[in-house]
Amino acid sequence: MVDVAPSGPAIAVLRSWSLRQWSVAAAGAVATALAMGLPTDVIPNPVFDRPVPVTWWSIPALAVASILAGLLLATYVRDSAASPERLDRPGRIGGVGGLLTFFAVGCPVCNKLVVVAIGTTGAMELFAPLQQVLAIASVVLLALALRGRLRGALSCPLPAS
């Protein structure tokens, strides 16, 4: 089993975050939830419609993924005027996790890529059951990315400039 929860030292990093980092984490979580929840109609709205009902697990999957994405985003915020960081491995893993979340909570027959690849029937019979697996994979990838960024903050602290 993969340990995806932040261990003791990683929690120490979270405890040391500034108000600015926590604000970015909260704003990032809300922005992620809206960016993924509105077009997939997991968050009901008058602009988008979904012919297939939202699954029971879509809302918790979106909530957890949004929180993890917001926390991951906040790991890139520095209080000092440090030099910008290049995109690292945890950042790429987090990006894949975010993309999987979008596919996981989206309507299977509204996804043009899936419908073109396997048709509407295939989307309902093959892709829809896989969405739960995608949701789990996305949360695991986002958690691993966050864990990697938090551990990196301990091992490679940036000097104040």
**pLDDT tens track for 106-158:** 888 887 888 888 898 888 999 899 999 999 999 999 999 998 888 877 665 55
Q: With respect to residue 5, please indicate whether it lies within any of the assigned structural domains.
A: no
Question: What integer best gives the mean pLDDT of the chain?
Answer: 83
What is the DSSP track for 31-90?
HHHHHHHTTTTSS--SS---SSPPPTTHHHHHHHHHHHHHHHHHTT--SS-PPPPPP-HH
As a whole number, mean pLDDT of residues 70-85 equals: 72
Q: With respect to residue 8, please indicate whether it lies within any of the assigned structural domains.
A: no
- Among candidates 40, 51, 72, 60, which has minimal Cα distance to 144? 72
Q: What is the pLDDT of residue 67?
A: 97
As a whole number, mean pLDDT of residues 5-20 equals: 78
As a whole number, mean pLDDT of residues 22-46 equals: 94
**The whole model's pTM is what?**
0.80
- Among candidates 146, 144, 66, which has minimal Cα distance to 105? 66
Q: Are 27 and 71 in contact (CB under 8 A)?
A: no
State both tokens at 61. 């999957």
Q: Are 43 and 34 in contact (CB under 8 A)?
A: yes
Q: With respect to residue 142, please indicate whether it lies within any of the assigned structural domains.
A: yes
Dihedral of CA 43/45/47/50: which sign? positive
Number of domain units in the chain: 1
Q: With respect to residue 3, please indicate whether it lies within any of the assigned structural domains.
A: no
Q: With respect to residue 160, please indicate whether it lies within any of the assigned structural domains.
A: no
Domain span including residue 73: 13-77+86-153
